[in-house]
Each structure stands twice: as structure tokens, then as C-alpha cells.
Amino acid sequence: QYSKAANNSKELEDCEQANKLGAVNSTLSNQSKEAFIDWARYDDSQDHFCELDDERSPDAQYVDLLLNPERYTGYKGPSAWRVWNSIYEENCFKPRSVYRPLNPLAPSRVSTLGSVYLFSWTGLCLEKRVFYKLISGLHASINLHLCANYLLEETWGKPRWGPNVKEFTHRFDPIETKGEGPRRLKNLYFLYLIELRALSKVAPYFERSVVDLYTGNGHEDAESKALLLDIFRDTKSFHMHFDEKSMFAGDKKGAKSLKEEFRLHFKNISRIMDCVGCDKCRLWGKLQTQGLGTALKILFSEKEIQNLPENSPSKGFQLTRQEIVALVNAFGR
């Protein structure tokens, strides 16, 4: 009985015209598409101090950290030197009272310092000194782990791992390092204080009931969160925290510019870590670097963390699963 009405040509024309006039033109130029990708990349990078790997990439793989302990792998010499030299030379604001080894590939130079050259702190602001100390502490942490878990011997296919005091002395002894070794260890402790401070600052983010450490096992999730909250309580009981309020405290324009420079330098370091030739060294180098980057992200997001809603998803501050794993494991290192 509706066929006549449904086939009314006037109504059909009106309907088609309405559809035509109301249709959305979804055509996009290639230039616009490229711009959107660029905008998204920019937005994603604004509060990050590290290059975050794409978990959906076919080249990415999940790794069980318990099956891959950080220890000596034999990765050393010119290749390893190039990585660390790039990190210091490109990103560390050139402190000038610090001895650093010269290129092992370069021909020997005649100088009173032999195989080292000298920097000094003159003219460097607090923030740049802090940045250098953090990278030095990161370097010391990695070196300490290879000294503490060194391949001592390998007989009948059964490797024996343990502390290598000679290697430790070579890297940290005051005489062998021309006084630089103790400073490296102080910088390691400074790094520890920075990451400890970040853990205490990020506590409110995890204390909210809306945040779960989801694994699919409800009992394990609750236990993991309880253990994490225990760590936060311990960090708050420690009173000698680093006070980050003194950083970027100058005029707003200069402070903003310096903070951005700080962030870009650190992102560049995370990219350089991708150049490490040894897989396990790259794994732990990137993990410790990302852990420090996450700590810096937390320290510079205090207001956003304080203003987080209690019972709704985070706005203004968010940590990815990858960042949480990196932060906790880097602090453990």
C-alpha cells in the first residue's frame, strides 16, 4: 500500500537533493594528509623526553627482562665509543672541567694530559650542569652493571658471571681516571635522587582508584598496584629529595626556551641509543634512557598531576605502559 508513495518522483528528487546538499566532502589533498601526520607527531611529542617506539610496528618485539639481565656482552671498542661520544658531544652542553677519553681510533697526540682532554663548568647554568650530570650518571650505571656481572670465564659452554674488580678500577678509580671516577659515582647517585623524586611526584597518578596495572589477572593486578603504592610510600619517607623547583626558574621566555632545548637534547640521545650495535646493550640502554626521560616528564608535569580527576580518565598527563615499565626498571638499575 506504500509503493505509490514511495515511488513519488517529487519526493525522490527532494530526498536526493537533500542528500547531495547535506553530504560531507571528505576529499583531502596529499599536503593536508601529510600535515595531519606531522601535527599528530608534534602533539604526541610535546610532553615526551624520549622517542617512544611504536608497539604496533612489525619490527618491534616484546622482551622478558628477567630472561635478559643487564651484563657484560663483549660490546666495546670503537663502536661503543662512537655512541657515547655522539651522546656527549651532540647533547651535553660541553662542561669543561671533566676529563674524557680521546677517540681510540685517532692517532696519538702529544699533550700533557695524554689520552684525555679537559672541560670546565664555567658559564654553564644550573640546568645544563644537571643535564650533564644525568647523562654521566646514566653512563656510570651502565658501566657498573657490566662490571658487576662480567663474563669471568666460559668453560665447556658454561659461562661464569661475577664482579670484575679490575674493570671497575679501570673505569672508576681516582688515579686511573685522573680523579673523574668518584665524580661519575656521585653523578650516579644524583641520577638516583632524580628518579626517586619522580616516583614520589607521580604517586597521585597511581593512587587514584581509576588506575589499574592491567594484565588480565585481577589478583595479580591488585597485588602489583599494592606493591607499587608501597614503593611510593617509601619514597615519600625519604626527606633528601632533589628540589626541581630551582630549574627553569628564570624569566618565562628564557625558561621555556631552555626547557625545550633540554627536551630536544634528551630526545636526540634516545635516538642515538638506537644506533647501538649489540641488541642486549641497546635494550638496556634504551630502557634506562626512557626511564630517565619518563622521570623528567613527571618532574615537569607537577601541576598536571595535581589536577588529575579522581574517578575519570587522565587529561593533561598520561603514562603509557612502556613508560611505567621503563621508569620502575630504570630506578631498579
Residues forming the active site: 278, 281
Q: At a CB cut-off of 8 Å and minimum separation 6, what does 161 contact?
A: 71, 72, 149, 150, 151, 152
Residue 72 phi, psi dihedral angles, 5° rounding: -60, 135
- Give me the sign of the Cα torsion angle 9, 12, 18, 19: negative
73 is in an annotated binding site: yes
Q: For the chain, how many residues are written?
A: 333
The answer to whether the beta carbons of residues 203 and 211 sit under 8 Å apart is: no
The answer to whether the beta carbons of residues 163 and 148 sit under 8 Å apart is: yes
71 is in an annotated binding site: yes
Cβ atoms within 10 Å, residue 268: 15
β-strand partners of 117: 100
235 is in an annotated binding site: no
3-state class (DSSP) for residue 96: strand
84 is in an annotated binding site: yes
Alpha carbon distance 144, 136 (integer Å) = 12
Closest CA to 331 of 301, 288, 297, 298: 288
The answer to whether the beta carbons of residues 222 and 209 sit under 8 Å apart is: no
User: Which residues carry a binding-site annotation for FAD?
Assistant: 71, 73, 84, 136, 139, 171
Annotated binding site: which residue ranges?
A: 71, 73, 84, 136, 139, 171
